[in-house]
Amino acid sequence: DGGITQSPKYLFRKEGQNVTLSCEQNLNHDAMYWYRQDPGQGLRLIYYSQIVNDFQKGDIAEGYSVSREKKESFPLTVTSAQKNPTAFYLCASTLGTGLTGELFFGEGSRLTVL
């Protein structure tokens, strides 16, 4: 079945540690996205990538980094510079330009900083 797989589902981190969240899609989609979800704030865009080896900052990129070495993969690293990393992280993808913006989402990764 085609879809988006995020891992791990739950992750605990000590302060000062970097962590990497995995996102893999087998939908052959061109564009991929990372959103952060906090209670009562909806979703906010962290980074997005339209093609391999290229990515752009979203609205809240500080303290995060990404890479897009393969079309199907878009990992997100939450660095120690992110001041409040505890959140639910959602990866999404869409086929490409010219469409109406429908996104397909993974099931999310919940990060808790201890």
Partner 1 sequence: GNSVTQMEGPVTLSEEAFLTINCTYTATGYPSLFWYVQYPGEGLQLLLKATKADDKGSNKGFEATYRKETTSFHLEKGSVQVSDSAVYFCALSAPDSWGKLQFGAGTQVVVTP
**Phi/psi at 65 (nearest 5 deg)?**
-145, 155
Nearest Cα residue to 58 out of 43, 68, 72: 43
Structure tokens at 14: 């000590």
Q: What angle (nearest 5°) sits at the alpha carbon of residue 86, between those of residues 21 and 102?
A: 60
Smallest separation, CB 50 to partner 1 (Å)? 6
What number of chain residues touch partner 1 (CB under 8 A)? 27
Interactions with partner 1, residue window 2-41 (CB under 8 A): 4, 6, 31, 33, 40-41
Does 107 engage in binding with partner 1 (CB under 8 A)? yes
Which residues in this chain contact partner 1 in the complex, by CB under 8 A?
A: 4, 6, 31, 33, 40-45, 48, 50, 58, 90, 92, 94, 97, 99-108
